[in-house]
Structures are given as structure tokens and as C-alpha cells.
Structure 1
Amino acid sequence: MRIEVTRPHELGENERSRWRALQKADKSLDNPFLSVEFAVAMSRLRDYVNVAVVHEGDRIVGFFPFERHAFGIGKPLGGFLTTCHGLIGEPGLKLDAKALLKACRLTVYEFDHLVAGQPTFAEFETDVRPAHVMDFTAGHEAWLAQVKENSPKNLKTVRYKERKFGREHGELRLEYGTRDPQTLQRLLSWKSDQYRRTGRVDRFAQPWIVELTEAMHAEQGDDFAGVLTMLYAGDVPVAGHFGLRTATTLVGWFPAYDTEFARYSPGLIHHFHMAEHAAKSGVHQLDMGKGGKEYKDWLRSGSVYVSEGRVSRPSAAAAVHWAGRTPFNKARTIVLDRPSLYKAADRVLKGFGRLRGHTQPEREEPSGAR
């Protein structure tokens, strides 16, 4: 085995083609956050993004994208922005994980959404969890039947609100895969407002994340693309979503809605319309990610699995990192495991968001945002 480390945007076309071929050969890698296009875009925007290219003889057998931060601290590509990461390699490929870290000049590598069961990292997994998906392989109607079985009451409520919304504000329609940049800016404005209201960090206050999102929106290949959807009531945009897709998997990324219409649950209504259009477009599954909101439990019709864990080489930096991160990770796991604690934490953050809104001036929204 020979490992070379380079920047993803410096890979040649033959290497990029090999990356795509390896991804397609393993169903567990069918996620756009594992695609070479995402790695290349990240590499062009952030100088700490790298990829280890693994050779066996004259053949490339794997790619390991990662971020190298101060003191050799390694993080998954995209970090908090992504819901899937791992080694893109030949099925069954097993590397010496610590030797891989050494080749990458990393002292530690911590992961929380790694494709579960990858041989290189399996012994370092400390927790494995399901990421719920909407499975359309048997068709949209089969998925809808599963949703009804999961919770007939919730489905009935959403359909009632959908009809009421249409009567009071105009016929509902969804634009799927819209290319309009102003529509994207409107969605990001809603999302920024949501982050502030709920006490979260506004990701779109960071220009590079806005630039990344715009670059992903511009990608429109057969194997990788940005997908922007917007739900309208009459001619008024009310809820939308921007995500990434491979040829067959769409990943949930940035959903948001206009709070003026919150009483109708426009975000949930949008998800139902998006599911129908995605299934018709050839998408086999919509990955909603692990943990979080209760709606995932009744919209799901399948799961994929992701893991948390940590690999380290003996060093002072790795020891300090472990001491600082372990209590936080344990606390987060406890909160995610208990719905009552998750709701309580969410309420606290929302209260903080309301307080912050009263004490700080509102940021000017992009032109065209409501």
C-alpha cells in the first residue's frame, strides 16, 4: 500500500473518475457528501481540506477526504455541515487506521457520521445509530402507505392543513430543481432567521458557507447535483429546501419556511410534495440524517447506519483533544437518546434566540427576501 496526500481540487480527471467508480460500486457510499464534487468544492474554499489517495501497486483502491486542523487534529470533510463521511474505497478495503493517520499527518481523527462498519474504522466505533430515510424503491405510493402505517393521525393532520392552506392562500404547487438564484437567497434568508430564532449559530453568516451553497446549486451533473425546491401557495413562496443528490440519493440539508404561515406546517407539507417529485425524478431514497426531529420517525420507511468514534496516535495534542471532547460527546448522546431532554434543550435554545433577537439588531436580509 502507498498513500499520497493531496488537495481534492488538484486531482486529475482519471483520479476523479476512479473516485466516482468506487462510490458507485458500494451501495453504502451512495451519498453526495461522499462525492468527489463536494470534496473539490470544499477544497477550493478551505485550505485545510485534503485527501489521501491509497494505491495498491498501480491501482487506486481508495480515497480518504479529511480536514487537517491545528496540532494535527483531523476532522471529517465538511464537519458540522455534513451528515455522512468515510473512506471511499474498494468493497472490504481495510487499512491500518493509525498508519493512515500518520500518512495524513494527523494525531487524532474523530467522526460522528461515518458510514457504519467500514473495516478500517470498525474497531474504533463507539456508537452506531440509524439515519432515517424515505425509501422510494417500491414507488412513492408504497412510501406513503408506510407513512400512514407509522402514524395515521399525523398524516391526516398534515393533509387537513394542506387543504386549508390551499383554500385560504391559493393552490399549492412545488418547483423541483429550480435554478433561480433569488429563490436560493430567499431560502437562505429564512434559514438564517431560523438559526437566530432557535438560538443556533447562523451558518450563513460565514461567507464561505454561502459560497459553497451557491457552488453546489450550480452543479448539475448526472451523478451529482444541487437540488433546490420551493413550495408556493398561489404565487407566494412559503417553504423550501436545498439539498444534494447522487444519481439515486437525495440528502436533506437546508429546509426552511416563511414563519408567517407556520400555523399550516408548511415545512411538513413541503416534504410530502418534495418526496413525490423526488420519487418521480428517479431518486431511490431521501436521507433525513440521524437524530433530531420527531417527524423523521413517521416519515421514514427505512434506515442507513452511521457511527461515532475516534482514532488517535499517542501525542500530547491527542490527549488534550480527548479530555476536551469526551464529556461533550457523552452529554450529546444522552440528550439525543431521550426525547424529553432533546425537547428541553431545544426550548432553552429557542429562548436564548428570542432574547438575542431583543438585544441585537436584525441583520439586513438579501434583496428579494420576505
Structure 2
Amino acid sequence: MTVVRPGDLGEAEVALWRDLQLSTPTLDNPFLSIEFALAVDRLRSYARVAVVEDAGKVVAFLPFERHSFGIGKPLGSWLTTCHGLIAEPGLELCGRTLLRACGLSVFDFDHMVAGQPTFAPFESAVRPVPIMDLTSGFETYVAHVREHSPKNYKTIRYKERKLAREHGEVRLEWRATDAGTMRTLTAWKSDQYRRTGRVDRFAQPWIVELIEQMHATDTPSFGGVLTMLYAGDTPVAGHFGLRTHHTLVGWFPAYDPEFARYSPGIMHHLHMAEQAASHGLGQVDMGKGGREYKGWLKSGVIHVSEGRVSRPSATAAVHWMGRTPVNKARSIVVDRPSLYRLADRLLKGFGRVRTTLQPDAMEKEPSGAS
């Protein structure tokens, strides 16, 4: 096995990576694509990929990040919603031997493709990921939503008619290419992060640059998709995500809070699903998490796992003490809807206080809109 930067892979290895992903349904996620690995490699010096060989033949790739003291993280870490071993189904490697070859003492994961034989022994939890299944067409999907969430569906369609009457025809732009549209979305998202007590991801220049690179990418097997919902000529909600040939993955949804009473984010998701189906996509992955709207918009689930692989070392012990209690606490909150809602309210309260106490700092804080 060898460990290289993603950009150092040869043409044959890149082609094999694509073939393995295309032929394995569980790997159908853009965060597992070679294009994403190459983009992260251009921006972050710690991007690596383990190239696994058997009898002189490459059989697997593991993209990861190698940090100080042998700490390993999935490529893209907390920014991504899927990671895993790019290999044929059933390939089983020794997890600890793999770590040793990668020069790692510990490897944490929280969005691993569930059930991969190499990592399955180290899974501490398996989580459902809600999806909008479009394989039978948008009308079939909508029929499912009507049947399982009739009240919610009627309410959102009523709000859409109201929005159209008061502000103009509701329409969705699919794969918007204008940089100004992206700036509008990232400004909303930065504002949402601050209002809800989260860290503003767009305050980090490398993330902004990554988004820009992904926005400019459009190939048959991989691309960035920026969608924007309008009422008349006014943008009210949008989303930027990544796609393969079959799957669109949710990444950065946001809306204008001035239109919150119309539930534009949910409205946008329905229009986005309709356009995704019309462009030949088979599903929209909404990401794991406790948001209630995902529960009634979903028409299926896939699964990701959380866990930790480590080798005996002082680094692994210190890392365990720092991370495991936090991860267990997070799991308890995620598994209990009442605690999830309480935590969400507390974070929003913190965001409101922070904004009130530091208005000037908030105005000067860099974001993807600048």
C-alpha cells in the first residue's frame, strides 16, 4: 500500500476510482468522488489517499486527512456528509493495519458508508439519512408525501399560493451559474449560522474557494448545483449541493428570513426535487439530522455510521479522552428529539445574544458574500 496526495494519482488510478464508484451503489455520493478529493487537495496540505494493492493490482482507495500526532480524519472532515473506502463490495481490510500503513494513530468517522467490512467492527452507531426517492419520477414521490404527510403538504402548497399572490410567481432556477446568486445564498447562510449560534463556515477562505470551484464544475458524473427559488424577481430560498450522475446531496440550504412565514426552505426542496427528477437524478440526500421537515419530505432512507479506529498509543488515549465524551453526549441528543429541540433553542438563544452584544463584529465578520 502507498499513501499519496490525491493530485499525485495517475490517469489509470483516477479511472479505476471512477469505475469502482460507478459500479457500487453504496458509493454513489459526490463526497466520495475523485473530483472532490482533487479539489480538497488543491486547498489543503493534509489531504491524502491510501492506494491499496493486492498482488500488484489496485483494489481500493481511502481518502483521508493526516493531521499532527497521527490524528486521521475523513477527507473534508466536518464539512462533508459521507466518507468511506472506495472499493468493490465485500473487500475487507484490517482496520488497524490500514491505520498503521497510513501513519495514523486514530481515525474518527461520523458519516461512514454503513456496513463496509473494513470499518463495520468499529461502528458505534448507525444513523438513518432521509432521502427523497425520485427513481419512479417526481409525481410518484409527491404521491408518497401526500399520503404520509397530508396536512404538511397541504399547508406548504397553501403558503406557496399565498407567496405567489403577494410577491409574484414562484419559480425555481436550476443550476444557477451567476456568482451574485451564490453570494446571496452564502450571505443568508452566514446570517443563519450567527443567528443560530453556529460557527460561520464561510468565514474560512478555503471553504469559500472550495465552494467556488465546485460551483464551476459540471461533468456527467460530478458537479455543483446551485438552485434558487424566486417569488417574482425576488430570491427567497436557495441551496448549493453536489451531485453524481444519480444523486444530489444537500449541503448548504438557506432562505431569506424576511420570508420565513411562507416556509420557503421546504417549498424550495419540493421544487428542487421536481427539477432534479426532470434532469435525470434518482434521489436527493438530505443528510442525517433531526430537522422535522426531513421527516415528512423523505420517502426513503440510507445509512451512515459513526465510530473510531485506533492503535495503542499515547496519542490515541489523549484523543479518546478529548473526543469520546463529546461524541456520546452528541449521540444522546440526536437520539432524543426533545433534547435535540432544546439544544437547537439554546444555540439560537446564544446566537441572538451574540448578535445583540457584538453587532459591529458581526458586520465585519468575513463570509462567503464578500
- TM-score class normalised by the smaller sequence: over 0.9
Aligned residue number for residue 255 of structure 1: 253
Q: Which amino acid letter does the alignment assign opposite residue 175 of structure 1? A: E
Contact 2:202 2:367 in 1 (8 A): no
Aligned residue number for residue 126 of structure 2: 128
The Cα offsets for residues 186-244 of structure 1, whole Å up to 9 and x where unpaired, read as: 10011000000000000000000000000110110100000000011101111100000
Aligned residue number for residue 75 of structure 1: 73
Aligned residue number for residue 143 of structure 2: 145
Where in structure 2 are there 5+ consecutive unaligned residues? none
Please state if 1:99 is matched with 2:97: yes
In 1, distance between residues paired with 2:198 and 2:318? 26
Q: Describe how 1:207-356 pairs up with structure 2 within 5 A.
A: 207-356=205-354
Greater displacement, 153-162 / 356-365: 356-365
Q: Secondary structure at the match of 2:245?
A: coil
Structure 1 residue aligned with 2:40, among 39, 42, 61?
42
Contact 2:187 2:367 in 1 (8 A): no
Q: Secondary structure at the match of 1:289?
A: coil
Aligned residue number for residue 363 of structure 1: 363
Q: Secondary structure at the match of 2:291?
A: coil
Q: Secondary structure at the match of 1:247?
A: coil
Offset of residue 146 of structure 1: 1.1
Q: Which amino acid letter does the alignment assign opposite residue 300 of structure 1? A: K
Contact 1:238 1:261 in 2 (8 A): yes
Q: Which amino acid letter does the alignment assign opposite residue 346 of structure 1? A: D
Q: Describe how 1:118-197 pairs up with structure 2 within 5 A.
A: 118-197=116-195
Q: Secondary structure at the match of 1:200?
A: coil
Q: Which amino acid letter does the alignment assign opposite residue 307 of structure 1? A: S
In 1, distance between residues paired with 2:141 and 2:73? 35
Q: Secondary structure at the match of 2:53?
A: strand
In 2, distance between residues paired with 1:190 and 1:141? 31
Contact 1:189 1:365 in 2 (8 A): no
**Percent identity between the aligned chains?**
68
In 2, distance between residues paired with 1:76 and 1:287? 19
Contact 1:84 1:113 in 2 (8 A): yes
Q: Which amino acid letter does the alignment assign opposite residue 233 of structure 1? A: A
Offset of residue 292 of structure 1: 2.3
Please state if 1:28 is matched with 2:16: no
Closer, same or farther in 2 for the Cα pair 1:122/1:367, shift >3 Å?
closer
Offset of residue 364 of structure 1: 5.1
The Cα offsets for residues 93-133 of structure 1, whole Å up to 9 and x where unpaired, read as: 11111111011000001111100000111111111111010
Closer, same or farther in 2 for the Cα pair 1:180/1:119, shift >3 Å?
same
In 1, distance between residues paired with 2:144 and 2:366? 40
In 2, distance between residues paired with 1:344 and 1:162? 29
Q: Which amino acid letter does the alignment assign opposite residue 220 of structure 1? A: D
What RMSD in Å do the two structures reach over aligned CA positions? Answer: 1.5
Contact 1:186 1:366 in 2 (8 A): no
Contact 1:249 1:286 in 2 (8 A): yes
In 1, distance between residues paired with 2:169 and 2:185? 20
In 2, distance between residues paired with 1:13 and 1:185? 35
Q: TM-score, normalised by structure 2?
A: 0.97
Q: Which amino acid letter does the alignment assign opposite residue 334 of structure 2? A: L
In 1, distance between residues paired with 2:194 and 2:7? 33
Q: Secondary structure at the match of 2:198?
A: coil
In 2, distance between residues paired with 1:209 and 1:146? 36
In 2, distance between residues paired with 1:269 and 1:366? 29
Offset of residue 367 of structure 1: 11
In 2, distance between residues paired with 1:311 and 1:367? 35
Offset of residue 284 of structure 1: 0.4
Offset of residue 298 of structure 1: 0.7
In 2, distance between residues paired with 1:365 and 1:247? 37
Aligned residue number for residue 89 of structure 1: 87
In 2, distance between residues paired with 1:19 and 1:367? 34
In 1, distance between residues paired with 2:259 and 2:289? 26
Q: Which amino acid letter does the alignment assign opposite residue 52 of structure 2? A: V
The Cα offsets for residues 246-272 of structure 1, whole Å up to 9 and x where unpaired, read as: 000000000001111111111111111
Deviating 4+ runs (over 3 angstroms): 364-369
Contact 1:248 1:283 in 2 (8 A): yes
Q: TM-score, normalised by structure 1?
A: 0.97
Closer, same or farther in 2 for the Cα pair 1:76/1:103, shift >3 Å?
same
Aligned residue number for residue 58 of structure 2: 60
Q: Which amino acid letter does the alignment assign opposite residue 75 of structure 2? A: L
Q: Which amino acid letter does the alignment assign opposite residue 14 of structure 1? A: A
Aligned residue number for residue 16 of structure 2: 18
Offset of residue 58 of structure 1: 3.1
Contact 1:182 1:368 in 2 (8 A): no
